[in-house]
Amino acid sequence: MKLRNKINLNTAVLFTILLILMNISIYFLFNNLLINSELETAREEMKMTSMTFNKYLETIPEKELLRSYLPVEGMIRIVRPDTKKSSAVTTLNEKELSKQKVEYYSGEISKKINKNKRIYAFHSMPIILPDGNIANLQITKSLEKSIENLQTLRLVLFIVTLLALIPVFISSRLLSNLLINPVTSMIKTMSEIKESGQFKRLPLEEESKDELYQMGETFNHMIDLLETNFEKQKQFVSNASHELKTPLTVIESYASLLKRRGLREPEIFNESIEAILSESIRMREMTEQLLLLAKHNEQWDLKLTNLNLLDVLKQTVKGFQNAYNRDVVIEVEQLTSTFVTTDEQKLKQLLFIFLDNARKYSDDIITTSVGVEKNEAYIKIIDRGIGIPEEALPKIFDRFYRVDQARSRKSGGSGLGLSLAKEIAEAIDVRVTLESKEKAGTTVTLTINK
């Protein structure tokens, strides 16, 4: 059975059961109220009757007096302690009541009795006879009119239940459509994605912020992640095949040269070994960068800590100087606290990339500075190298982009460093701004919210 039909059936059955239970409760409640009301009314009438009955008992014959107080449908009688001396009067259609067992009660009695499949209100009240003896004045009154009203109520409730089932079934159908339509839309979108191979998203009604909207929003977010990862994977394969082709060709060429002439010519042997080692190292570095770029921001496994930017800069510069034997100057522009919350290792990696770029394209001293401005901490990396043309600045963070021959594989790199820096900066929420002028140098500013 389809989910739509299950929801429709279960909802309709549930509402039907609730409706039936509600109508049954109404019927029995009204039944009790009506019977109790009739008993109470008959009891009050009995009191009034007993008060006037004694006044006329001496002057009017007992039978005639009983007949004058006879209910519309029922029986009235006087029951003496000696029940054989009792007298009773009944209406024409209630003759059978006179055959019921005569019983004397010492006190007032009010109850409901069943006789010949009919319901009666029975009341017995002590009265004083003219001779001073105590007897019971008993009235048995038919409740058939009230029962007929209850039967009418039962019929009305039955008809109302049947009529109410119509909107119940309609509303259950509407409810099932409301719940299933987003699921159906999701299934349709998934099928279209499967058939076309193109990522698609669910149209969402922004007026509604319910769970169905959240489900659709989560689905669209999942598609965004899938599309992003798919694009990264496709770009990774494309980039890897494009960039690894050259070093592999170089390694293959030198390996072939070694095979042919390496044993006979030591110079060619040494040159080939150096070239193969250099290209292997570059391939390893390039592969590591490509793998990092293939990650999504949520996969960076960030470890945020509160740290001092000046200390981080000093540690990074010291390691950089030891690795490349280059002079790097650190300037502190303001004495304000430079504590920020970020990932220390990713920040150091980011600084190292820009310091390495400054080293590659500048032979002069590299200057760094740290400070605070407008509740934002910043680090600047300044070189006085060849600079970047203005028209190239918008593309500088694109993968494998190189400005000119001066930024070749020999002097520059694979063209992935700045792309990786951009990804790291976005992951740790660092704003990167780059200012450069040809033959004057480049200034990189890393801004972090405090």
The domains of the chain, with CATH numbers, are: 3-150 (3.30.450.20), 211-294 (1.10.287.130), 301-449 (3.30.565.10)
Q: How do 366-373 and 328-332 pair as beta strands?
A: parallel
**pLDDT tens-place values along the chain, 450 residues long:** 677 777 778 888 888 888 889 989 988 998 888 888 888 888 888 888 877 777 777 778 888 888 888 888 888 888 888 877 788 888 888 888 888 888 888 888 888 888 878 888 888 888 888 777 888 888 888 888 888 888 888 899 889 888 888 888 888 888 777 777 777 887 888 888 888 877 787 777 766 667 777 778 888 888 888 887 787 777 767 766 766 776 787 788 888 888 888 777 888 888 888 878 877 876 786 677 667 666 655 556 778 899 999 999 998 888 888 778 888 999 987 656 788 999 888 898 889 889 988 988 888 899 999 998 888 899 999 999 888 888 887 778 776 666 654 444 444 455 667 877 888 888 888 999 999 988 889 999 999 987
- Give yes or no for a contact between 444 and 397, defined as CB atoms under 8 angstroms apart: no
- Give yes or no for a contact between 283 and 247, defined as CB atoms under 8 angstroms apart: yes
Nearest to 45 by CA among 70, 64, 79: 70
C-alpha triplet 5, 10, 14: angle, nearest 5°: 150
Question: Which residue reads 């039978």 in tokens?
Answer: 63
Question: In this structure, what token pair is assigned to residue 401?
Answer: 């982009």
Q: How many residues does the chain have?
A: 450
| Helix/strand number for the chain, H first, E second | 8, 12
Please give the torsion angle defined by the CA atoms of residues 399, 404, 407 and 409, in that order, rounded to the nearest 10 degrees.
70
Alpha carbons 287 and 389: distance in angstroms, whole number: 29
